[in-house]
Amino acid sequence: MSGKAFDRRGLAIAGVVLALVLLFSLNTFGALVLRPLRIDLTEDKQFTLSEGTLELLGRLEEPVELRLYVSSGIREANPFLASYADRVHDFLKAYAEAANGKITVRYIDPEPYSEEEDRAVGFGLQPISLGDGTTGYFGIAGTNSTDDSDVIAVLSPERERFLEFDLTRLTYNLAYPDKPVVGLITGLPMNGDPMLQYKPWQVYSQLGQQFELRYLGGDIGSFDEDIDLLLIAHPKQLSDRTLYAIDQFVLGGGKALVFVDPHSEAAAMRQRQPGMEPTFSSLDKLFDAWGITFAKDKVVADPSAARQVQFPTGQRQQIVDYLAWLSLDRSHLNPDQPITAELERVNLASAGYIEKKEGAEVDLVPLLISSPQAMAIDAEEVRLFPDPLKLLRDYKPGNKALYMAAVVEGRFPSAFPDGPPEGADSSGEHRREAAEPVSVIVVADTDILDDRSWLARQSVLGQEVMLPLASNADFVANALDFLAGSDVLMALRGRDVALRPFTRIIAIRREAERRYRAKEQELLDRLSELKDKLRKLQVSDDAGAVLSEKQQQEIENFRSQILETRAELREVQRALRRDIETLKARIRFANIGAVPLVVGLVAIGLALVRRARYRRKVTTGA
């Protein structure tokens, strides 16, 4: 009997040892063989190479070398960054494999004062302070066969889900170093102002990675022959000479991307004296020839896409929907157009809308579209002192979808049918009409370009990182790509959006606001009325007048009613948030408590099943 017990004990020990050996072997095998393999369970396959990337890698003709710089000091100081560096290295190897040998990857540890550190500095990688007076590097530098270079200056873990886009953008720039030339005509400081220490806008910086941007100022008579596209943003008081140059450029087959605005908040905030200068822009003469209309005094208000803002009501801040600030999700983006098909979200502020002119023989293809519940409001409502609550109170659905951006296609006539205006360049032949159908893209908002509309700033590793909350820059780049006839990056852009809102919570909040907002306003009006009545009686009291007992009783009644109204108002405001908080609590329970509870119940169930089987076995054996 004791021998059998010893055999069972020995077998148990041997089983444990074998299990440990098997576990160690499987871990070693996984680390060596399976580490590059990943399963992407994200909704939008954020960590799977997209079709755009695979297409680009499959048609590379020139070799590209990617150098991953990771200082050993960074790995030693931060295990989290060390793990991320390993993931980046694995991703680069998978990336290179998809390029059929056209991409090589080098892993470099730039030791202090070494030639490799000098190269990292020369490429433009940003140093990271290690806290002991030394610096390290964690970035990617790429080169092609003609010694062109491009970099990802800092690899931030916060941008891990954007790694593919950053890397494909870098590869594209090296594979196609000859960039289309874009002529920029703008009344906005997009390219920065060194005198005022303004940095270039991120849209401008990102476009500069793919296009050669050429700023065009002053009175323009004609455009250089090497300009492929025009980007016109917030045009103000352009002369007929400049308008004629644009007109003839487009009729000759040139492409244009135009941004106009009924109220440019980007321009308004940079005025020295707010309200002293007009904040709208348009190209009325050209739009008339192109067969479209744009109302300079109307702004689109859409409750289905409104962004939330903090607005002071009384002595507290209230979070409300601001109908003039829009965050357009996929339901507002045309899925059939390559410009918007892959985008997640585009943010606008005080945007207008464009329409096809009656009788015009042009095609208007929408890109950014409001819901049918949108309302066109006077631009004066949002110019100086906008009141989000007033917009909510005055809102009435317009029952018509409005186009805030669209492609305009057709054989446009000239906006100058009588020939060149005085002072215009008349050296070439005057075009009275486009020989072939041409395309322009018109966007009825300029704030789409402003950093404040779509970026969040965050400090990481001592460096400022810009995290996109919307795909505004991707929309602009896609529009230029579309006009230029290039679509390599279109399928990839738009995946780099950090904002992933809970759409169900937003829907519940808006429904709750619809139910309670009218009651809240009614109580606020009653509270204001009671305070006015009380103030009038108190003024009489302060003036020395003798108040009757009835008046004194009336004062007390007013005070009681004010207290009751405030209590009722607080209850309504609590009710406004109750449904949202209930749903949030359910989500927290599902994430924190439900999963462990289910796992625990399954474990208990398995233990009970095993115990029952053991008892049956013992009983049968007996």
Contact 249, 203 (CB under 8 A): no
255, 143: one domain: no
Percentage of the chain modeled with pLDDT above 90: 41
439, 539: one domain: no
Residue 266 lies in a domain: yes
154, 186: one domain: no
pLDDT of residue 498: 45
Q: Domain of 108: which CATH number?
A: 3.40.30.10
Residue 394 lies in a domain: yes
What residues make up the domain containing 565?
507-591
How far is 175 from 148, CA to CA, in rounded Å? 10
pLDDT of residue 468: 87
Q: Which is nearest to 421 in space by CA: 251, 185, 218, 221?
A: 221
Residue 547 lies in a domain: yes
Q: Tell me the average pLDDT across 312-320.
A: 74
The total domain count for the chain is 3
Q: Is the pLDDT of residue 6 over 80?
A: no
Residue 607 lies in a domain: no
484, 513: one domain: no
State pLDDT tens for residues 79-137: 888 989 999 998 899 899 989 889 999 999 999 889 999 999 999 998 988 877 788 99
Most confident of 37-41, 66-70, 274-278, 395-399: 66-70
443, 485: one domain: yes
Q: What is the largest CA-CA distance in the chain?
A: 117
State pLDDT tens for residues 559-586: 777 677 667 766 766 666 666 667 667 6
363, 261: one domain: yes
284, 375: one domain: yes
140, 261: one domain: no
428, 300: one domain: yes
Q: Is the pLDDT of residue 550 over 80?
A: no
Q: Is 184 helix (H, G, I), strand (E, B) or coil?
A: strand
- Count helices and strands (H / E) in the chain: 17, 22
439's CB contacts (< 8 A; 6+ apart) are 255, 407, 408, 409, 483
Q: Is the pLDDT of residue 254 over 90?
A: yes
Contact 400, 372 (CB under 8 A): yes
Q: Is the pLDDT of residue 327 over 70?
A: yes
Percentage of the chain modeled with pLDDT above 70: 76
User: What dihedral do alpha carbons 441, 445, 448, 450 form, nearest 10°?
Assistant: 120
Q: Is the pLDDT of residue 424 over 60?
A: yes
Chosen domain end from 454, 481, 500 = 500
Q: Is the pLDDT of residue 304 over 50?
A: yes
| Two tokens, residue 197 | 């220490």
Residue 193 lies in a domain: yes
Residue 21 lies in a domain: no
Residue 56 lies in a domain: yes
Chosen domain end from 436, 471, 500 = 500
Q: Domain of 258: which CATH number?
A: 3.40.50
How far is 252 from 435, CA to CA, in rounded Å? 7
364 band by pLDDT with thresholds 50, 70 and 90 = very high
Q: Tell me the average pLDDT across 55-78.
A: 90
pLDDT of residue 595: 66
pLDDT of residue 506: 63
pLDDT of residue 162: 75
Residue 58 lies in a domain: yes
Q: Which residue did the predictor score with more confidence, 147 or 346?
A: 346
Q: Is the pLDDT of residue 405 over 60?
A: yes
Q: 448 exposed, middle or buried (CB, 10 Å; 0-12, 13-18, 19+)?
A: buried
298 band by pLDDT with thresholds 50, 70 and 90 = very high
| Least confident residue range of 69-78, 212-221, 306-315, 535-544 | 535-544
State pLDDT tens for residues 513-524: 665 666 666 666
319 band by pLDDT with thresholds 50, 70 and 90 = confident
Q: Tell me the average pLDDT across 413-430.
A: 88
pLDDT of residue 601: 79
In DSSP terms, 355 is beta-bridged to: 293
200, 216: one domain: yes
Q: Which residue did the predictor score with more confidence, 258 or 31?
A: 258
116, 202: one domain: no
461 band by pLDDT with thresholds 50, 70 and 90 = low
376, 512: one domain: no
Most confident of 13-17, 172-176, 425-429: 172-176
Q: Which residue did the predictor score with more confidence, 607 or 622?
A: 607
447 band by pLDDT with thresholds 50, 70 and 90 = very high
User: How high does pLDDT run on average in the chain?
Assistant: 82
